[in-house]
Amino acid sequence: MAKHYHEELEALQLALVRTQMAMAGSDERVVIVLEGRDGAGKDGTIKRITEHLSVRATRVVALPKPSDRERTQWYFQRYVAHLPAAGEIVIFNRSWYNRAGVEVVMGFSTAAEQEAFLRDAPDFERMLVESGIRLVKIWLDISMAEQEKRLEARRTDPLKALKVSDMDKVAQAKWTDYSAARDTMLTRTHTPFAPWHIVRADDKRDARIAIIRHILHDIAPADIADGVKAPDSDILFPFEMAALEDGRLER
């Protein structure tokens, strides 16, 4: 099983390399937004996506909390500064969607600011897409039990010490609040031009394979994408309202 995973991963990483080579010298620009609960597997997924890509043409953006100056700016302003130029891939490990998630649950912004975000985010993303940026939005969904296991591993493994945050301490206690914020975010910001895709991420390896397949089908030239299997629809699927009620999203 492990051998099959590594072989599949290597083949997909090669397809990513070929895709980036095709982007070189072109006007192609790609933004990948990865969101999910604490412990959902974003870091590990990003590592596998970027492992063999050009460091000059690939950037991972994981912004810290805003400075006092940034708090006075237009909310999207500090994210705009990190958007890609021609031939570049930018991956946001968390993104402007902080305002629809942790800021809602923890009260880091006002209800008015949160409502303004939900109203404005689709327009912001429409402008990105209309400018020629390929925008891929993925939500990694995990169960409460799996999150607990992963957060405990962070606390007890010295090599994962840098992943531990204050937010870990409340992730389980505020599980229901995070679920409600997720549902509102998906409902209000899923659009035809910037759709959300959901990944059931309890199995890290299956999730990574599905995500990379999805990215390739979204951004790779046809001659590359045609050689990549479609993601398993039981693992990765486009968001739809029915998913809020039929068990595909963790409650």
pLDDT of the chain, 251 residues: tens digit per residue: 788 999 999 999 999 999 999 999 899 999 999 999 999 999 999 999 999 999 999 999 999 999 999 999 999 999 999 999 999 999 999 899 999 999 999 999 999 999 999 999 999 999 999 999 999 999 999 999 999 999 999 888 888 888 888 788 899 999 999 999 999 999 999 999 999 999 999 999 999 999 999 999 999 999 999 999 999 999 999 999 999 999 999 99
Structure tokens at 190: 């899923």
User: How far is 152 from 22, CA to CA, in rounded Å?
Assistant: 42
Specify which residues 140 forms β-bridges with: 36, 199
pLDDT for position 133: 98
pLDDT for position 155: 87
pLDDT for position 159: 87
Q: Edge-to-edge strands of the sheet including 29-36?
A: 58-61, 89-93, 29-36, 133-141, 196-200, 236-238
How far out from the chain centre does Cα 44 lie?
Answer: 12
- Closest by alpha carbon to 83, among 18, 127, 35, 21? 127
DSSP states along 157-176: -GGGGGG--TTHHHHTTTHH
pLDDT for position 56: 96
Specify which residues 237 forms β-bridges with: 198
Q: Which residues of 159-188 are buried (b: 16+ CB within 10 A; e: fewer)?
A: eeeebeeeebeebbebbeebbebbeebbee
User: How far is 116 from 128, CA to CA, in rounded Å?
Assistant: 18
Q: Using an 8 Å Cβ cutoff, are 7 and 109 in contact?
A: no
Structure tokens at 250: 């963790």
**Helix/strand/coil for 13:** helix
Residue type, 172: Q
User: How far is 241 from 86, CA to CA, in rounded Å?
Assistant: 35
Report CA torsion sign: 73, 43, 140, 101: negative
User: How far is 220 from 200, CA to CA, in rounded Å?
Assistant: 23
- Closest by alpha carbon to 57, among 80, 33, 28, 89? 89
The CA-CA-CA angle for residues 33, 12, 50, to 5°, reads 45
